[in-house]
Every structure is written in structure tokens, then in C-alpha cells.
Chains A and B, each alone.
Chain A
């Protein structure tokens, strides 16, 4: 276990050190202490390492992550795991706005609640939220899966493309072109896998599925307002 004191050693040294880890590094376990809400912690990682952050983080923790597992033992500020390509990011607490924004792959697990715009413009990432999500989540979401074990706020899935949304609780309102869809057996199988990966004990049958009505896919003046 490599222990890195962020307060003492600084952000630049932290990220440079983590970037220096190659695919076959044997220094695979890292612990970051004293994060104290710092921004851009463990961004741009590209090695199969596990990073445990002992506390809460600021903006963009684990941004553009590839391969690595980043575990935040606290809450995360805006844009956690933004544009993630692969790997896993787990937040023990809550996540602020834009969690998993534009993510291309990998898995983001939020054990608390996520704020507004969770999964905005997501492009393949899987996001599992144990609690609730805020308004405008999955706005313009292109692909991937968003699982919400609690409730969703206003305008869920506005201008959605091909991402799949699963919500167990209530949805305050659906955004433009987002509709409830039939939960078919393949979706239950997919959801069971997502819930298992996210460490949730919820049952797939308790969820509703939402997706795109595909009425905005080609410009039609009747859809403008």
C-alpha cells in the first residue's frame, strides 16, 4: 500500500505519480489521505491500480479515468468521473452535479444521492445510484445505463438518445422525448447485473425503464418550442 498525503505533497505530485504507473506496475494499491475537498484528484489515470481517497473530494475527481478503480470514502464534488473511459469509481457518500458527465465507459457507483445533471451527455458509462438523483439527469444521454434506486427529479432524460434509464422510485417529471418503456426480460437481466456491480440489493422487478421516444432524432419543426 502506497500512502500519499495530499496536503503535504500536493496535487501535481499526486497526479504525476499516479500517471507514472504503467499497466504492469506492482504498486497497485494507493491511499490518498487529507484530500480536504481538493479538485482534480486522481484525474487522467491509465493503469489498473486501486486508489482509495480517505475523505471528500472537490471537482472532477477521477476525471477521464481509464482502467483504474477509484474509491472515495466520503462525498464527491461536481463532475466526478467526468468523461470516464473505463475502470470503476465508487463514492461512499453523495455526489454533486454532473456526476459521470459524458462518460464513455466504466462503472460509477454512488452510494448516497446524486445532484442535478447526473449522467448528462453520457456516452456509454454505467452509473448506479443507491439514492436519489436531481433534475435534468441524463440530459442528452447518448448510451450506457443509469440506475437509480431512489427517486429522480424533474426533466429526467430530456432530449435522450439511446441511453437506458432504470428508476425504482418516483420520477418527478420526464424531459422532452423521454418515455416509460416496457421492461423486457433482457432488460431485467441487464439490470440484475448492474445492481450486482453496484452493490445494490434491490430487485430488478421493482424498477421502471425509461428511454427515448426517438421523436427528436430528425429535426421536425413541430417538435420545436
Chain B
């Protein structure tokens, strides 16, 4: 205990948990600039997540499979409901939509290379389809976004699936902004806008306004593409039961559900951190909607938002998803936020692992930029190799867990294979609290 100069004891200084140093710094920054903070990435706050679930593994009542030898399938088929040509993937880990514009051309190429090597799909983003992405992606999902930047019927016909983006986890209900710093000649041409101006991506579609309209929009897209392409509907983690129900009703082949940890290229920090739900809270509600509609496994569920390794993949499968999508993790595998660039991150006022000003276009790793000098630092072949390695590791990890639970396919994992470490996770995932057979809200119980 400190004392004053007269030797009288004084209380030690105490930092407020409410007005913490980061909070106070943001107040000072706002007061100095008059503008809210814009950044990339997903929610950084700690939320209930897959870390709060554990697998039980095998015991006398469950018979495990041999860890390295016995077959454990990982394939998944997406789009079996209506599409003539469903997508067949070797692994249930896909690459989420990220735009050319937000990412460089070589980065998009690397995502295609890595996904193709691993036997999975990658996804376009706002801004349209690039040749390097189509050329290096065996399976490419073409996003149909509110902005319709770059949208055209030729690309619609040469994609492998169409993803109608209603929302994303980082900002359900919000649009996007690609700031002028990243609007190169090529980006400007693809989006039919002048170079150097900020490009707003609308928050709602221009030519439909509700689920009844959406059903007709899907009819149009199917007619244009001869009913060949699976049609996904992507929603942010807002009201997963109702959104999934309406997506099924509108005619989706696949529902993509993105939790608040899912990344964005640029959005207000307040939006990212305070709107939407963690993916853990969304999956079981979406599965419930699928089951209530009699469509579980008939309409596939792809989930995303904070998926990092094979354990997360396996947990998503156990909760009822058919596949997952990764975005932020894929960028890290490519080299984003790598400590090798620490000195340059420091010059930008940040540090490796925390860099999120992707919208400024000064990414030292050359991934989230359109600056030719920075882009030249990134090798798309090496990036593709690294992504493939990472995807393989995720798959091997998920298989390891599935075998330990006695499952010969990742899709055979089930909620009964899990327990929850916290009350919150138990309630959100409807998984019994460890050591009990109970979770909050369990039917037939009082709480």
C-alpha cells in the first residue's frame, strides 16, 4: 500500500472496468477526430464460442475408430434440393466470399489455388469475378450482392454455384464501403465507378424486398442458368430460426449462416462489436428451422464466423452443419498479420495479429491492398500451397476427433458427442453442461 509524504496510507490507483484504458483511448480518439472507427475483421470481444464445448470421446458406451487407419469420410455435396449440378467437395471446409477490391488479385488467385488443391470451393465477393480467381478455382461460388458490382449473366453461367448475400455476420443489416484508396483502375472499371471515390455497397437488394420477392428472384436466376447451379442464401447471425425458415421457403438449396466473429473488409467498429450473434448461438436454431421444415440435410447448412481449426469444424458438424466457411483464418494462412512484417505494422501504429485497417490499403503482407509494390510481396503459388496445407490440417484434426467419437463420416458427429463448459454455451448450443444431463431451456425442465 502506498503512502503520502507524511506516511499516511493511501488507496492504490484503480482502473475502471467500465472506463478501461482502451475505452478511454477511443473516447479521446472520437473527441479528436469526430468520426467513428472503421476497421476490418470480425468481433474481437470475447463471446461464447466453440472453445466452450468439448467432445466426450469414446468409452465403454461408444466404440472408437482407429485413429490413422479406419476410414473417416469428409466429403459433402451442396445443392441437392433443386440444382441439376450440385457441388461435390472433398472436405467440408470452404472459402468464404471476399471481394476483389478488398483483396488483391494475387490473393484471390491464391485462395482459388489453395481451395482447388484441397478439393473445396472458393467464393467471389463484392466487385465481381476475376479471371485469375475463376481460372484457379475448380469450384467457384459467385456472390449475388446488393451492389451488383460486376454482376453479369456470363459469369453467372460460368460459376459453380450462386450465393445470394442477404447479410453477413460482422454487420447484419449493414452495407459496406470500399474506400477510395483501394479503387485502382481495374477495381473502378469492374464496378463501373470513377477511380478514387469511396464505393458504397448497399445494405439491401435493389430489386426485391422480402421473402416472397426473393422466391421470384431465385426463379429468375434458375431460369437464366438452366436450373443447373445450386443457389445459396447467406444471412448474418441475426434471427437464425426465422431467417433459415424464410430462406428455405424462398427456395434455397443451401443456407449460409455467418456469426458475428466473421470478418468484413471495412465497417464501423461499433457495428462489428454490437450487432449480431455469436455463431455458437445460431447453429442449433438454424438446424431447428431445417428440421421443422423437414429439410435438414436436404437443404445444406454452411456456417462461418470464427472457425480456426479442425475441432471447430468437428463441433459445427456435431451441431448439425453440413460444412463450414473460413475467411479470416484463410487470410492468416496466406500470411496476413504475420509477425515477419512486425516493423511495418509498428509503423502503421499497430502490431502483428491486431492489424485490421485493411480498408486503408497499406497491408504490409500485400494481401488486402491494391498497391502494386505491396501486392508484389505476395506469391499466389506459395499462398495457395500454404492454404492447402492449412485446410488439410483442419480436415485431419476433424477426422481425428470424429474417429475418437466412433464416427466414420464427419457428418455422423452429433450433439450427443458434446458437453458444454459454461452455462452460456450450454444454453446457446443446447448441449448439456459438463457433468450433467441438463442445459438451460431444456424441454421438460424448469429453467
Chain A residues within 8 Å of B, Cβ to Cβ: 11-12, 15-16, 19, 39-40, 43-44, 46, 58-60, 63-64, 66, 78-79, 82-83, 85, 97-98, 101-102, 104, 117, 120-121, 123-124, 139-140, 142-143, 159, 161-162, 217-219, 221
Contacts and interface: CB of A to CB of B under 8 A. Distances in A.
A142 B355 CA distance: 32
A121 B202 contact: yes
A43 B34 contact: no
Contact of A123 (B35, B148, B202): B148
A219 B151 CA distance: 25
B310 to A, nearest CB: 40
B148 A39 contact: no
Nearest to B191: A142
A58 to B, nearest CB: 7
Tell me what chain B mostly uses at the interface: helix, strand, loop, or mixed.
loop
B176 interface: no
Tell me what chain A mostly uses at the interface: helix, strand, loop, or mixed.
loop
A161 B195 CA distance: 12
B227 A140 contact: no
A161 B213 contact: no
23 contacts: A15-B224, A16-B226, A39-B220, A40-B216, A43-B220, A44-B153, A44-B156, A59-B213, A64-B224, A66-B153, A83-B148, A102-B206, A104-B152, A104-B192, A121-B147, A121-B202, A123-B148, A123-B192, A159-B200, A217-B180, A217-B197, A218-B198, A221-B34
A59 B206 contact: no
Given A82-B207, A85-B152, A98-B206, A59 B220 contact: yes
Contact of A78 (B35, B193, B207, B227): B207
A40 B207 contact: no
Given A39-B216, A78-B213, 17 more contacts: A15-B223, A15-B224, A40-B223, A60-B207, A64-B153, A64-B156, A83-B152, A117-B207, A121-B206, A142-B191, A142-B193, A161-B194, A217-B180, A217-B194, A217-B197, A218-B197, A219-B177
Closest 5 CB pairs of A and B: A44-B224, A98-B207, A217-B197, A64-B153, A102-B148
Given A121-B148, A123-B192, A40 B198 contact: no
Given A78-B213, A159-B200, A162-B194, A117 B223 contact: no
Contacts of A12: 223, 227
B23 to A, nearest CB: 21
A79 B207 contact: yes
Given A83-B148, A117-B206, A60 B220 contact: yes
A137 to B, nearest CB: 12
Interface string B200-213: 10100011100001
Contacts of A218: 180, 197-198
B174 to A, nearest CB: 14
B54 interface: no
Contacts of A64: 152-153, 156, 224
A19 B207 contact: no
Contacts of B152: 64, 83, 85, 104
Interface string B119-155: 0000000000000000000000000000110011100
A102 B207 contact: yes
A82 B213 CA distance: 14
A217 B180 CA distance: 9
B389 interface: no
A214 to B, nearest CB: 8
B216 A219 contact: no
Contacts of A11: 223
Contacts of B179: 219
Given A142-B193, A217-B197, A219-B179, A63 B206 contact: no
B225 interface: yes
A38 B357 CA distance: 48
A64 B220 CA distance: 10
B414 to A, nearest CB: 39
A155 to B, nearest CB: 14
Contacts of A104: 152, 192
B393 interface: no
